[in-house]
Amino acid sequence: MAYMSEEGYNKLLADLKQLESVERPHISEQIAEARDKGDLSENAEYDAAKEAQGMLEMRINNLKVLLSDAKIIDLKSIDTKTVKILNKVELKNVKTKSTMTYMLVSEGEANLKESKLSVNTPIAQGLLGKKVGDIVEIKIPQGTIELEILNISV
């Protein structure tokens, strides 16, 4: 089960509609054009279009599975006493004193550019269940970092 916000669910749904209504017909056209060029056994364009079609269908299928497994969480009902999925967590690196804020989201909603961190990452796993003021040691590929939880919000 993938817990996500309504915004995240709607974004994935829009992505699925884009893939099915725009990308799929476009690839079908590419396959038809390549087929019209003759011998398929030596037609690189046909092979490339068929491979793109396979990749697209895989992406569509993955999105459908993710959406069918999704459980939308109402942001108003989220508790901020401890870190949970869909919380925004303000952190301070104890060593460097730098601060950062991440929202913990499902794998499908994760996007570091938007400061949305998957709950499956080592940092998120280390934060789940912790409270404001806790200092958490988290093992990451570069070593261990200490993060202090400054604030938990929605």
Listed in order, strand segments (DSSP E) in 14-119 are 70-72, 88-93, 99-105, 116-118
User: Which CATH number does the domain housing residue 64 bear?
Assistant: 1.10.287.180
Q: What is the C-alpha separation between 63 and 111, in angstroms, rounded?
A: 16
CB 154 within 8 A of CB 83: no
Picking from 27, 55, 72, the residue at the C-terminal end of a domain is 72
Query: Are 37 and 82 part of one and the same domain?
Result: no
- Kindly report the pTM of this predicted structure: 0.70
Return all residues near 6 (Cβ < 8 A) that are at least 6 apart.
72, 74, 75
pLDDT in tens, the chain (154 residues): 778 888 889 999 999 999 999 999 999 998 888 888 777 677 788 888 899 999 999 999 999 998 998 889 887 778 899 999 999 999 999 999 999 999 999 887 889 999 999 999 999 999 999 999 999 999 988 899 999 999 999 8
Give the count of domains, the chain.
Answer: 2
Return all residues near 73 (Cβ < 8 A) that are at least 6 apart.
3, 4, 5, 85, 86
User: Which CATH number does the domain housing residue 96 bear?
Assistant: 3.10.50.30
What is the domain extent for residue 61? 2-72
Query: Are 80 and 11 part of one and the same domain?
Result: no
Query: Are 83 and 108 part of one and the same domain?
Result: yes
Query: Are 112 and 97 part of one and the same domain?
Result: yes
